[in-house]
């Protein structure tokens, strides 16, 4: 059974569909897009899978705890947690307000911590589990205009490695996937000129697809990755190789 946060669209949606296609029962976590989450559940059901949608703001500890508890109650156990929920509020460092800083850190880092902690308590009793955090190459090399997002994703990578060390004795793996430029709502808002310039920086000369990230997540959540923990799997078309 897998819980995917922020699964109503983009990378989260692709991850939920891919895990379901591999036989996992999936909880489609969402914050405000109930209708879109329901559409993901319907798509999984149409393909013969099992899923349900559960709402909650993971940036709030009580709601994150409740989401994880409800997911376990719905299917009786929790085998996989994918921390994908997050948001951006871009701006230059000197113009970034405190609210923009705190909102992104709360959603992208605090939320992942709350869900990870709640899931770990369940997985410790099971003596098994897979946790995959969706980070970003912004957390390894930094992005101008994204001090809050880069800091949150760098923190998420640190959280991944610390949690991996703590949970390994109970056969719980914790890994991260760091996407580069992926075709999502966030990148679709870029102007054609900016998109072209960004794609030109990628050795594979294109943006990735959400499905590219989903495949990486499915590997880390699978038995094939039983001996992989504390790692960051970069999915960026070669953008940051050598960085």
pLDDT of res. 153? 97
pTM, full prediction: 0.94
Q: At what angle do helices 61-75 and 111-126 cross, to 10 degrees?
A: 40
pLDDT of res. 88? 84
Options 30, 149, 219, 227, the catalytic residue:
149
Edge-to-edge strands, sheet with 2-4: 51-55, 26-30, 2-4, 80-83, 129-134, 172-179, 232-235
Question: Which domains are delineated in the chain?
Answer: 2-235 (3.40.50.720)
pLDDT of res. 189? 61
131 token code pair: 């946790």
pLDDT of res. 59? 97
pLDDT of res. 151? 97
- Evaluate whether 4 touches 28 at the Cβ level (below 8 Å): yes
26 token code pair: 């999936």
- Evaluate whether 181 touches 208 at the Cβ level (below 8 Å): yes
The residue assigned the tokens 């701006």 is: 91
Residues of the chain with pLDDT under 50: none
- Evaluate whether 29 touches 2 at the Cβ level (below 8 Å): no
pLDDT of res. 136? 96
110 token code pair: 């605090």
Catalytic: 149? Answer: yes
| Tens digits of residue pLDDT in 31-40 | 999 999 999 9
pLDDT of res. 191? 63
């Amino acid at each position: 059974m897998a819980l995917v946060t922020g699964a109503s669209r983009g990378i989260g949606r692709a991850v939920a569909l891919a895990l379901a296609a591999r036989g996992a029962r999936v909880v489609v976590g969402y914050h405000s897009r109930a209708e879109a989450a329901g559409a993901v559940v319907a798509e999984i059901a149409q393909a013969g899978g099992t899923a349900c949608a559960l709402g909650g703001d993971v940036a709030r500890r009580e709601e994150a705890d409740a989401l994880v508890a409800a997911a376990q109650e719905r299917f009786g156990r929790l085998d996989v947690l994918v921390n994908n929920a997050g948001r951006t509020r871009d701006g230059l460092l000197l113009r970034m307000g405190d609210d923009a800083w705190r909102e992104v850190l709360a959603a992208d880092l605090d939320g992942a911590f709350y869900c990870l902690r709640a899931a770990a308590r369940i997985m410790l009793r099971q003596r098994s589990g897979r946790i995959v955090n969706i980070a970003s190459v912004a957390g390894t090399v930094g992005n101008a205009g994204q001090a809050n997002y880069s800091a949150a994703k760098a923190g998420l990578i640190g959280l991944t490695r610390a949690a991996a060390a703590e949970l390994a004795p109970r056969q719980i793996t914790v890994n991260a996937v760091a996407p580069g430029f992926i075709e999502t709502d966030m990148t679709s808002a870029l102007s054609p000129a900016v998109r072209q310039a960004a794609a030109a920086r990628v050795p594979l000369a294109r943006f990735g697809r959400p499905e590219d990230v989903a495949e990486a997540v499915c590997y880390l959540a699978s038995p094939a990755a039983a001996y992989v923990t504390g790692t960051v799997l970069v999915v960026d078309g070669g953008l940051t190789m050598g960085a």
